[in-house]
Amino acid sequence: MRRDFVIGATIALALSIPQCDGMAGSLPKPTKVTAPAGTYTADKAHTSLIFRVNHMGFSNFTGRLSHVDIQLQFDPAHPAQSKVDATIDPLSLETDNPPAHFLDELHGPSWLDAAKFPAITFHSTRVVLTGSNTARITGDFTLHGETHPIVLNAKFNGGYSGSPMDPHGRVGFSLRGSFKRSGFGMGAWVPKPGTTFGVGDVIEVAIESELGGPAWTPKKSSTGE
């Protein structure tokens, strides 16, 4: 009878432990920061979006999108409740040494079709902590007029409330993710199964961003000065 009681208590205890993405164990504790809760927007001088796609199996072709707007509702005490929205201008796509008319083709109907779909957007729907300063962010991604969920793996790089030379809260993040472009209606030149002849289906994305937030309030000295 005592054995049954112990087994039952053990099961009850296991069921009472919070679950993290289907795995048993205590939830990660977020890194403590002095950056205040509130609305943060991307510092465009310190924000970049790089993408890579396989080119015929010979290289990972790399480009960037230079016009990226990000708004973050940040809650350092409850980071899983934070929300992020991003808007990207497809006409801001840039590559190194593009051949004549190459960018026009990428902006055109066979690829981004930027005239018809002038914005690429991401709206977060769920944030799951995976460590003290890491998380998985699921969101609705709209590209080429189609919306599907994607996942970004985020790393929180730090934050503070501000300083005399930077008088507002600041936080920084690194994000990585990938998606299949054919799922968004851009299947041009996807290699046939078993080959690499063409342009790969999987797009890898890397985002680095610093974001500015609420105004900094200097602490008053003990003398009131």
Tens of pLDDT, residues 78-114: 999 999 999 999 999 999 999 999 999 999 998 999 9
Using the predicted structure, report yes or no on whether residue 143 has a pLDDT greater than 50: yes
Q: Is residue 135 part of a domain?
A: yes
What residues have CB less than 8 Å from 187, skipping those under 6 apart?
181, 201
Q: Is residue 19 part of a domain?
A: no
CA dihedral 181, 184, 187, 192 (to 10 degrees): 60
* Burial status of residue 15 (CB atoms within 10 A of its CB: 0-12, 13-18, 19 or more): exposed
Residues across the chain:
225
What does R_g of the chain's alpha carbons equal in angstroms?
22
Q: Is residue 173 part of a domain?
A: yes
Residue 149, token pair as written in the block: 């969920």
Task: Provide the number of structural domains found in the chain.
Answer: 1
What does the pLDDT read at residue 197? 96
More confident residue, 18 or 176: 176
Q: Is residue 126 part of a domain?
A: yes
Residue 37, token pair as written in the block: 């809760």
Q: Is residue 52 part of a domain?
A: yes
Q: Where are the beta strands (DSSP E) in 2-145?
A: 19-20, 23-24, 38-55, 59-65, 68-74, 83-88, 93-95, 120-129, 134-143
Distance CA 172, CA 202 (A): 26
What residues have CB less than 8 Å from 195, skipping those under 6 apart?
none
H or E segment at 211? strand 202-215
Q: Is residue 10 part of a domain?
A: no
Q: Is residue 141 part of a domain?
A: yes
24-58 residue pLDDT tens = 456 677 777 889 999 999 999 999 999 999 999 99
Residue 185 sits in a domain of what CATH number?
A: 2.40.128.110
- Closest by CA to 166, choosing from 35, 38, 1, 27, is 35
Parent domain of 204 = 40-215
Q: Which of 2-11, 47-56, 148-157, 166-175 has the lowest mean pLDDT?
A: 2-11
